Amino acid sequence: MQEQDLTTKRSILERLLDLDVVQVTLDARVAGVQVPAHLIGNPQLRLNISYRYGLPLELDDWGVHATLTFRGARHACCWPWNAVYALVPHTANPPHVFPNDIPVDLLTEQMPDEPPPTPEKSTASLRLVESPRESDAAPDVAEPSPPTTPPDKKKRHLRVVK
C-alpha cells in the first residue's frame, strides 16, 4: 500500500469522525490487529468508533488506537491502516470503500461465478477511494445476463449499503 493511501484513509476517517459515529470494516487477520480474542481472525470485523463515546481514540500514521466496549467490558484495540477496507458513516454521507484492501478470499467467496465488481458498476452507491490494481482488472468479456432467480443471500459476505 502506498503512503498516499494511508493519508487518504486517515483524513477520510478524521473527517467522518468529526460528523458522527463511523463503522470501520477491517480484516482482523492482518498482522498488528489487536482486538478481543473472540474477534481475532474475522475477515470482515465491523467496529463502531466515535469521539462522542468519551473513550480514548487516536489516529496516527500507523493506524487506529482505541478503547472499545465489547460484551460490557472495555478493551484496548488497535489496527493498522492496511487492515481497513471500508468506512461507513452513520450519517447520510456515502460509505468509502478501498477495493485494493478488501480480502481477496471475500471477493471470490461472495460471487464465485463472477469477477469482482468494477468501480464503474459500484460508483452509484459507494465512493471508491482507490483505483483497482491493473493485475486485478477483469478481461474484456461480454456482460453476463442477470440471473432469473435471486442470488443465495447466504453466500454474500459484502453488501452495498445505501
CB 111 within 8 A of CB 94: no
CB 130 within 8 A of CB 100: yes
48 alpha-carbon distance from chain centroid = 12
SS3 104: helix
pLDDT tens per residue across span 136-153: 444 444 444 444 444 444
SS3 45: strand
pLDDT tens per residue across span 12-46: 999 999 998 999 999 999 999 999 999 999 999 99
Give the model's pLDDT for residue 124: 37
Total of domains in the chain: 1
Q: Which amino acid is at 22?
A: V
| Residue 2 belongs to domain with CATH number | 2.30.30.220
Q: Which domain holds residue 93?
A: 1-136+145-162
pTM above 0.85, yes or no: no
Give the model's pLDDT for residue 158: 62
pLDDT tens per residue across span 63-107: 999 999 999 999 999 999 999 999 999 987 889 999 999 998 887
124 alpha-carbon distance from chain centroid = 17
